[in-house]
Amino acid sequence: MAKARRNSRGGCGWDCPQPWDHGVAGPYLGLGTIKAMDLHADLTEPVVLHTPDLAWTPSPMAGVERRMLDRRGAEVARATSLVRYAPGSRFAPHHHGGGEEILVLEGTFSDERGHYSAGTYLRHPVGSSHAPFSEPGCTILVKLQQMHPEDRQRLVIDTHREGWRPGLVPGLEVMPLHAFGSEHVALVRWAPGTVFQPHRHPGGEEILVLDGVFQDEHGSYPAGSWLRHPPGSVHCPWSEAGCTIWVKTGHLPSTVNGQG
């Protein structure tokens, strides 16, 4: 699988919405069927969700369901969701007016450019388009309408082929995925018993626990937990059992470009 150039390591703490081109809210979150809603839309408030406890809700496209994690808007929305494709389901071609970010969690996600197995990280910049489908079925993390318009880099990264780098404390390993301005995205792997120092997130932090159990002074978060820490938040994380997390920092309430 071809891999686009990545930015260098940095800033994950561990080591402008745009209108849709055709008035479409994005393929994963309903084509003209969702009423305006504010779901965990206050970015100054912390959110913790155990996603396996959330119900799957149908989309207008047969065979595609979603668990909505946060959302602001109706047909046009800033949104984060888990999306499940049944085998053989697909969407018509569509544009990403505010960009799209995907992590394939299970199965194989596809479009006209290729097939992306579990562990693939994708970024489709503002104004991009594709026609997605899944022959065997898949589950993906999707973030819509959250990219800086100057972040023009399309990414396809197979994380199973990437190397891990030492983190800032013993037992921590980091796989940087993307960096633009204040925004940094990475996978972080915690060996059992790893403890990180207390730290602050000036631009917020978002975490999806992929395996194991992630912990901090506020609680324990098993696989499937989604956390959003608001700008200025502080915590002291650790993992007694070990875990792997997808983590994004510096994007709340929005990414600041390289010129500040």
Please give the structure tokens belonging to residue 260: 């500040």
Taking the model in full, what pTM does it have?
0.87
Mean pLDDT of 207-225: 98
Residue 59 CA to its chain's centroid (Å)? 19
pLDDT(77) > 90: no
Dihedral sign of CA atoms 168, 169, 175, 181 in order: negative
Q: What is the pLDDT of residues 224-246, one digit of tens each?
A: 999 999 999 999 999 999 999 99
pLDDT(57) > 60: yes
pLDDT, residue 146, reads 94
pLDDT, residue 257, reads 87
The CATH number for 163-249, chosen from 3.40.50.970, 3.20.20.70, 3.30.230.10, 2.60.120.10, is 2.60.120.10
pLDDT(219) > 80: yes
pLDDT, residue 147, reads 94
**Domain 54-158 carries which CATH code?**
2.60.120.10
**CA–CA distance, 149 with 83 (Å, rounded to integer):** 24
pLDDT, residue 241, reads 98
- Check if 54-158 and 163-249 are the same fold: yes
Question: With contact defined as beta carbons under 8 Å apart, do 165 and 175 qualify?
Answer: yes
Q: What is the pLDDT of residues 84-128, one digit of tens each?
A: 999 999 987 888 889 999 999 999 999 999 999 999 999 999 999
pLDDT, residue 34, reads 66
Q: What is the pLDDT of residues 137-195, one digit of tens each?
A: 999 999 999 999 999 999 999 999 999 999 999 999 999 999 999 999 999 999 999 99
Residue 253: phi and psi, rounded to 5, are -75, -20
Q: Regarding predicted confidence, which is higher, 175 or 76? A: 175
pLDDT(10) > 60: no
CA-based end-to-end distance of the chain: 34
**CA–CA distance, 246 with 200 (Å, rounded to integer):** 18
DSSP, collapsed to helix, strand or coil, labels residue 116 as: strand
Domain spans of the chain? 54-158, 163-249
**CA–CA distance, 244 with 211 (Å, rounded to integer):** 5
